[in-house]
Amino acid sequence: MISPDDFQYALENTRVVVQPEQRIETFGQTTFEFMIVSELMDEANKVRIRNGHINAERPRIVAPQHFQKMLLEGFGEQAREFADFLETRSDLVKILRYGFQLKKTDFSEEILHEPLASVMGRLEERLRSDSNPLTALIEGVDEAWEVCLLKFTTDLIQRSAGENLGEWKRRGLI
């Protein structure tokens, strides 16, 4: 079980190196590819790279009492604890009012025996040259990596929310 201090540490040590250029679509599903890189604890020059996809279903406006029903399919207990933690933070709850359902898929991981800086530099260069507008490179904390991934996701939701609301208003839905 992760303590509130562990949550806070993961939140403070999540750094998005390559940000997706595209926002979450208002009226359709959006799939982002992620790479989260973290140093292994107590092991010099060893990093873990986790790859996968985050599927953000189309946003829906829901009442705050439905936050507990937020679906985190494919995520573990740490992610559920993080979602519960977010609900206690009044400054972050607004982010989740759109009822995004997140699904982590196509997951894989590998360990490299290299310094973090060289791995991050090589991956950043590769992702920037690929020019995929739906890809993210995240530096995070190994033990609480799902918290780092959800931090990235909530930031992405926050970036998308203004445009999503604007589209709903233009179409007379709110």
- If one compares 141 and 74, the residue with the highest pLDDT of the two is 141
Percent of the chain whose predicted confidence (pLDDT) is above 90: 36
Q: Is the pLDDT of residue 152 over 80?
A: yes
* Structure tokens that stand for 27 in this block: 């009226």
CA-based nearest residue to 57, from 96, 107, 105, 99: 99
H-type helices in the chain, by residue range? 4-12, 77-87, 90-93, 116-130, 145-170
Tell me the sheet residues that pair with 18: 137
Torsion angle of the four alpha carbons 159, 165, 171, 174, in this order, in degrees rounded to the nearest 10: 160
How far is it, in rounded angstroms, from Cα 147 to Cα 6?
A: 9
Residue 36: partners with Cβ closer than 8 Å, 6 or more residues away: 49, 50, 138, 139, 140, 145, 148, 149, 152
Q: How confident is the model at residue 61 (pLDDT cuts 50, 70, 90)?
A: low
Cα separation values, 28 from 32, 59, 173, Å:
13, 8, 15
pLDDT tens digits along 25-52: 777 788 889 999 999 988 889 999 999 9
Q: How confident is the model at residue 92 (pLDDT cuts 50, 70, 90)?
A: very low
- For the chain, give the mean pLDDT: 80
How far is it, in rounded angstroms, from Cα 37 to Cα 51?
A: 9
- If one compares 53 and 174, the residue with the highest pLDDT of the two is 53
- If one compares 115 and 166, the residue with the highest pLDDT of the two is 115
Q: How many CB atoms lie within 10 A of CB 50?
A: 21
Q: Is the pLDDT of residue 94 over 70?
A: no
Note the pLDDT of residue 116.
Answer: 95
Q: Is the pLDDT of residue 168 over 80?
A: no
How far is it, in rounded angstroms, from Cα 145 to Cα 6?
A: 11
